[in-house]
Amino acid sequence: PTVAEGAYPSEAEAGAEGLYVAVERCPLCNSTRRRLTCAKCVRSGDFVFFDGRDSERFSEKKERLKHLRKKQHEFQSQLLKAIEGKQIADQLRWKIMSCKMRIEQLKQTICKENEEIAKNSEWLLRIKDENQKLYRRAQRHQDKKEKIQRHNRRLGELV
């Protein structure tokens, strides 16, 4: 890295590691504690690229990143809610479709049962009609039997 404008080399001082290095002034706070930037400025995020390619301070970038992550989290939450809503809607559509199919099956079953009832009713009417005819016929036969028995009694009395 190049030396930033306004940085003034001073005498050699002992560094944090115990080495003697030429110390320059911090371009941010103008102190002579560290090379290029002081620890206080680094800790607070108050530094930039010295070659001028990006003038945004690290602390500003950090704030922007924090803001972007917050927005990303909000967007993901909204997306999850939308997906959950869609899943619920899909489940309800499936239930509605299942109910409609069940209703259609029940309607078909009711129609078949109604047809069966109609057939059984016709059969019952035919049986009743047949029974009535047979009852009348049996009644006529009973009348004939009684008539024959009376006739036989008269003949038996005459003989």
Q: How does pLDDT run across 108-145, given as a tens digit for each residue?
A: 999 999 999 999 999 999 999 999 999 999 999 999 99
Report pLDDT for 62.
87
What's the pLDDT at 52? 62
Q: Domain of residue 66: give its range.
A: 39-50+58-157
Q: Evaluate whether residue 70 is within a structural domain.
A: yes
Mean pLDDT (the chain) is 81
Whether 62 is covered by a domain: the verdict is: yes
| Domain count for the chain | 1
What's the pTM value of the predicted model, to 2 decimals?
A: 0.44
Write the single-letter amino acid at 53: R
Alpha helix (H) residue ranges in 3-159: 39-44, 58-158
13 pLDDT band (50/70/90 cuts)?
very low
Express each pLDDT in 23-44 by its tens digit. 566 666 666 654 555 667 767 7
Q: Is residue 19 part of a domain?
A: no
Is 153 inside a domain boundary? yes
Look at residues 3, 45, 43, 52 and name the one whose alpha carbon lies nearest to residue 23: 3
